[in-house]
Amino acid sequence: MMTMHPLVKIRRDLHRIPELGFEEFKTQAYLLDCIRSLNSSIIEIETWRTGIFVKINGTNPSKTIGYRADIDGLPITEETGCSFESEHKGNMHACGHDVHMTIALGLINHFASAPIKDNLLFIFQPAEEGPGGAEPMLKSETMAKWRPDMIMGLHVAPEYPVGTIATKPGLLFANTSELFIDLKGKGGHAAYPHQTNDMIVAACSLVTQLQSVVARNVDPLDSAVVTIGKITSGTVQNIIAEKARIEGTIRTLSSESMDKVKDRVRALVKGTEIGYQCESAIDFGAMYYQVFNEESITMEFMEYVQSTSDMKLVECREAMTGEDFGYMLKEIPGFMFWLGVESDWGLHNAKLFPNEDVIEKAVKFISGYIQYKGN
């Protein structure tokens, strides 16, 4: 029987305990236990809410290299059927953050015993999936004290095979915004519709209108998406609904298009309010800034990938994916890249199952790159 790699065991331990944004208490405790067990004199640790900063002091530092890993899970009921399935029913690491954390721990373990010239700052960031941990973490006292000169991060990519890194200079991920619309009319008996203002009818009409926003209000040479993923309304089949809630997401490749789409959404909701004689409220929830890779650092990284035999480089297109790492890249030069994990199931899918072979391979490759940058 083959012995399980220690990092694979860590990934499976973390996979069992997914927690939602700013509720990652067990996750934080597990990560702290792993880091403190290294008993390294060159490591400094500070916590921020449910997140962690880990500084590894260099031998003769002239700069600080940052590395970020997100730590939260998603409100998804797991359907992988694996032996280490989520113990937190209704929550799952369906976006690969368990893999992200494990790779970061592997890097910390490596550099704790083999320090480089420059300082390293590892950031375990909570609440990436919402409500957003990157922006407030940037404003923390610890970040002000240990602020890196450059920063990098990765995201697993089920569509690419293990051994693949995909990235590009400039825009990588879109601007994103949540969308919540509440409608309130007058409910009543199904036999007397004339005495009511039916919010199911109003909501259905509004959803159809929202599909015209991108088609008729965004430059065809730009890109945007308005997706409605959930409608909640009604109680039983013979009562006309008094309330309806529409939940969705907006994604655009430019901040200008985001403003334009939001303005159009407001106008359509106002029209629904007038046309269906109801009250309305809009909440755009958490908004994530675009992930924009600094050109020179990203090009240097891509050249490094091409110079090694460990990984294959793919220069990919930008994606409509949202990532609050964009806030960090807005303030600190750096980049994000996709890491192939070859799963048949995509991100946020209840059956996502990354290939664990990627973990050891990624630690070896990224530690090589960090050593190249920091010596």
Active site residues: 70, 129
DSSP output for 10-33: HHHHHHT----TT--HHHHHHHHH
Residue type at position 46: E
Question: Strand, coil or helix: what is 272?
Answer: helix
Q: What is the dihedral of CA 165, 166, 169, 174, to 10 degrees?
A: -130
Contact between residue 209 and residue 201 where contact means Cβ atoms under 8 Å apart: no
- For residue 347, give the nearest of 70, 92, 22, 69 by alpha carbon: 92
Query: Which residues have a Cβ under 8 Å from the Cβ of 219 and sit 6 or more positions away?
Result: 257
Write down the residue that tokens 């334009």 correspond to. Answer: 260
Rounded CA separation 85/261 (Å)? 39
DSSP output for 288-325: E--EEE-HHHHHHHHHHHHH-SS-EEEEPPPBS---TH
Question: Strand, coil or helix: what is 228?
Answer: strand
Q: What are phi and psi of 140, to 5 degrees?
A: -75, 160
- For residue 180, give the nearest of 130, 135, 128 by alpha carbon: 130
Rounded CA separation 155/166 (Å)? 10
Contact between residue 140 and residue 50 where contact means Cβ atoms under 8 Å apart: no
Per-residue burial over 168-186, b if 16 or more Cβ lie within 10 Å, else e, is bbebbbbbbbbbebbbbbe
Rounded CA separation 139/145 (Å)? 11
